[in-house]
Structure 1
Amino acid sequence: MPRPKSSFDRLRPFQFRQPDEVLDPDTMYTVYEIARLLQGLDPDTELDVETESILLDWAIPWLVKNSDALCFGDPASDDEPGHYGLLD
């Protein structure tokens, strides 16, 4: 439900971190792992489904915005996610 701006204690600019600030250049990550990294979590952190869904809401636009700096590795099988990493 929408809320008035005055109901927030603090408002700050909406900013995305740069890919090289989040990802190791020699590692490929799933979107789920990137979602965790964007929140400062270890990529292997266990999360409940609801929290993971919220984090994905942040990660997917970040991937799209930074697509020119990223590469994609095909999934090993049809039931696994692909992996993303920094372009060389």
Structure 2
Amino acid sequence: MPEPKSAFDATYPCDFYEPAELFEPDQMYTVPEIGRLLQGLEADAEVDPDTEAVLVDWAVPWVMVHAEDMVVGEPLEEDGPGYYGLAPHAIDDADSEDGA
């Protein structure tokens, strides 16, 4: 059910990280790990299953929106998760923005 904005003490900008801000260039991450990173947690932080489900729900569309700046790695095990990391051009773009 929608709520009036006046019901909230404060509202905040809806800013999300760019992949180059979120990922280490030499690492690959699962969707649950990406969800944790988007919340400012460590990729391996312990979260309860209900929280993890919400984080995954947020991470999936973020991955889709930023797909052009990412690469995909096949699961390391037959029934394991896929992994995502920075595309080479996203690393180069981040370096050039930093003045490197």
TM-score, normalisation: structure 2: 0.81
Q: After superposition, what is the alpha-carbon deviation per residue over 1:13-48, rounded to whole angstroms, capped at 9, x for unaligned?
A: 322211111000000000111111111111111111
> Quick check: which one's helix share is greater?
2
5+ unaligned residues in a row in structure 1: which ranges?
none
Q: C-alpha displacement at 1:3, in angstroms? A: 2.0
CA RMSD of aligned residues (A): 1.2
The offset of 1:77, in angstroms, is 2.5
What amino acid is the match of 2:76? A
Structure 2 unaligned regions, length at least 5: 89-100
Give the structure 2 partner of residue 12 of structure 1. Answer: 12
Aligned ranges for residues 55-74 of structure 1 at < 5 Å?
55-74=55-74
**Which of structure 1's runs of 4+ aligned residues deviate more than 4 A?**
none
Structure 2 counterpart of 1:26, which letter?
Answer: D
Tell me which structure has the larger Cα radius of gyration.
2
Instruction: State the identity as a percent.
Output: 50
Paired amino acid for 2:31: V
Query: Aligned partners of 1:34 and 1:44: how far apart in 2?
Result: 10
Q: 2:97: which partner in 1?
A: none
CA distance in 1, matches of 2:67, 2:25: 15
Identify the residue that residue 49 of structure 2 maps to in structure 1: 49
Shift of 1:2: 2.8
Q: TM-score, normalising length from structure 1?
A: 0.91
